[in-house]
Chains A and B, each alone.
Chain A
Amino acid sequence: GAVVSQHPSWVICKSGTSVKIECRSLDFQATTMFWYRQFPKQSLMLMATSNEGSKATYEQGVEKDKFLINHASLTLSTLTVTSAHPEDSSFYICSAGIYGEQYFGPGTRLTVT
């Protein structure tokens, strides 16, 4: 099956710093990738749709200036959490679709202290 990787798998950072999370489709090309966020005991919530070569589409309530998305190639999308705060601590998961199925990365656990 298709494989999606994420890096890093976990990160701890201080409040006010920026964190970049990478999402890669390893064995297929993805013109569209998705970024989700999951708080403890909550469902995955779609944050944004990352489009290769164009601007990302953000869901209502997600600040585009805070969560910067870059999809510069068909196999890589990055999410940068700028000026992170403790309330941004969460599990961030990316996904990419191919052949009608959605494949998820292993997730990145972000803790902001």
Chain B
Amino acid sequence: RKEVEQDPGPFNVPEGATVAFNCTYSNSASQSFFWYRQDCRKEPKLLMSVYSSGNEDGRFTAQLNRASQYISLLIRDSKLSDSATYLCVVNVPNSGYALNFGKGTSLLVTP
């Protein structure tokens, strides 16, 4: 079983749509959770950290359910510039800053 699993998509949505991505992780000892965005042939960039109480950053809302080891990302009012691959990322316990990455969910926002 992979450490972090995501639906690879692709998700094709029109501008203005709301889209949700899901992710599950296998190591219950993980303590830090993130969503990263990766554009084609570029390095991943941190979109937002995910906190137990859920958190929002503008059009982006992240949720964490530790009991079911489930993480989600909701994007409201999608923009063309949101087109990218979204990576669910979980820390490697007892490793400092090492991270386990999901395979990513591809999003294409169309006019």
Contacts and interface: CB of A to CB of B under 8 A. Distances in A.
Interface of A: 32, 34, 36, 41-46, 49, 91, 93, 95-97, 100-102, 104-107, 109
B74 interface: no
Q: Is the interface of A mostly helix, strand, loop or mixed?
A: strand
A106 B104 contact: no
A32 B101 contact: no
> Interface range on chain B: under 10, 10 to 19, 20 to 34, or 35 or more?
20 to 34
Contacts, number: 49
Nearest to B88: A43
Interface of B: 4, 32, 41-46, 87, 92, 95-104
A104 B100 CA distance: 14
Nearest to A33: B97
Contact of B100 (A46, A49, A100): A46
B2 to A, nearest CB: 8
Contacts of B45: 104
